[in-house]
Structure 1
Amino acid sequence: MSEITAKRSAVKQALHALFLVFRIGNERYALKAIEVAEVLPRLPLKPIAHAPAWVAGVFAYRGVVVPVIDLSALTFGTPAQGRTSTRLVLVNYRPDATAETQLLGLILEQATDTLRCDPADFQPYGLDNRQTPYLGPVRKDELGLLQWVRVSDLLDDQVRALLFPSPPLDPVLLEDRP
């Protein structure tokens, strides 16, 4: 391989990104792998009282309590199936460039594959669905359509305040209550 061909190949690879592919029902979705902190098996969760049905609960991870949402329940109102390929995927959630990155858990079905492709291959699908701003553009391939899920758009302001109160609740203040 010539030096010029090698450089062109390196530039083309630099345009590609790695995605974690998963399913909701029969439909395929993808998260940008750079947003994924860790993929875990499905773990027991502590439920959160009076939270939306798609908030699956919380669990302790390396000394931090991490909230978990069920993406299937959030998107279509049906909880994820308990398959051996259902995973608890920790993502780096950051609602905007000025916010601090926090861990957020996602319950994802069949989260076992990855795909390397050019993010520019994903195209708008022509529907302005303001109720699901996290569902981004789609990419066509031999398996059908693949939709990009944008982690930063997963939570609206109300749910973000519930899962990530600002400032965080101080346990000392809770002890002072009668």
Structure 2
Amino acid sequence: MAIPVLIGAAVSVLLGVYAKTHEPTGFSINVAGFSSPQAVKTWLATVAFLLALFQLASASAMYGKLPFSAPSWIGAAHVWSGRLAVLVSVPVAVHCLYAFGFLQYDTRVLLHSLLGCFFYGAFVAKMLLLTRKGLPGWVIPVAGGLVLAGLTGLWLTSSLWFFQHHGLTF
């Protein structure tokens, strides 16, 4: 269990070091139909967050924590919703790393930078832990909870903030 956790921690640190040491370009790519790059990032992050909430619900069903039995398709839906969540989060992360780097000009932004590094490190650790046999039953749920906590913090410090200051704009 230690090796996947250490690799995840290394990913977090390496992302932070890269983001802090490279020269931010300030350049961003916009997507047609959106009013700004910030709106694109906000909505992609919101999709990732909603998929992560589905991950929580589907995992709860698979672990028998809901008052009904899990449908037969829930395992596949859990896997694919996780893949989609990461897929839609990658353009946001690449943009943040490339265009802005590791920012810390106020508490919200510093927390967002730290959570971004944490999220991807926790994700890598969880994916590596999934390949291990014989782990205690609490390991995967805790790893998934840490990934969800990281993404929730990212969403709160970015998308929610954007929606509060700019409204539900596209």
Normalised by the length of structure 1, the TM-score is 0.28
Structure number with larger C-alpha Rg: 1
More strand by share: 1
More helix by share: 2
Q: Which has the higher contact order (CA 8 A, sep 6+)?
A: 2
